[in-house]
Amino acid sequence: MFWTDVDSPLGPLLLTAGADGVLTSVSVPGQKGGRSVEEGWRRDPGPFRAAVEQLDAYFAADLKEFRLPMRAEGTAFRTRVWAALDSVPYGSTTTYGEIAARVGAPRAAVRAVGGAIGAIGANPLLIVRPCHRIIGANGALTGYAGGLDRKVRLLTLEGALPATGGVSPVPEGAPPAPERSLPAPGVIPTPPRPSTRP
């Protein structure tokens, strides 16, 4: 197994690849279920040149779709869910329920879909497999293994949330961001009515 670490606006990223050089994970510090370097792994930035170039371009808002060979080990169900994630376009969001429908899972399987996406850390390819684009049915930003603050930063970078100064580094040990809500996908929010009181 190869590994390297790279700086990013979200903090250091740990990248891993198999012996064939195919990307197998992208993790952030403190990630639920994130990888950490194991004994016997070989540090070598060589297999990650394309990934690093594309991540840099993504964070500079010059890349909207990753084109990297990547592989994640998972059940047949998780593999279907991850493939559905890959179809969620840059700058948009969708719900866990909509992902369940895309993979042909019954409405009752939404919790299982959430687990496969990364709510419990099952998506090993954060950022490049866009689980940050999945929100609750009510628009709540929930279930991101990398932390809600990072999810907010990624959605802001992509324009799915209003800009509040762009993506800035997340200090290690920073408290989680407060829960936020987006309007349901496809819903245009109605601005509050002005008060008629004097």
Long-range contacts of 137-143 (CB under 8 A, 24+ apart): 137/95, 137/96, 137/97, 137/184, 138/181, 138/184, 139/181, 139/182, 139/183, 139/184, 140/179, 140/180, 140/181, 140/182, 141/179, 141/180, 141/181, 141/182, 142/179, 143/96, 143/114, 143/117, 143/118, 143/119
Total length of the chain: 198
CA 172 to chain centre: 18
DSSP letters for 112-148: HHHHHHTTTS--SBTTTS-GGGEE-TTSB----TT-H
134 annotated active-site: no
Question: Three-class SS of residue 17?
Answer: strand
Query: Which residue in 109, 127, 131, 141 is the catalytic one?
Result: 131
Query: CA 101, CA 87: separation in Å to the nearest integer?
Result: 13
> Phi then psi for 109, rounded to 5 degrees?
-90, 10
Positions marked active-site:
131
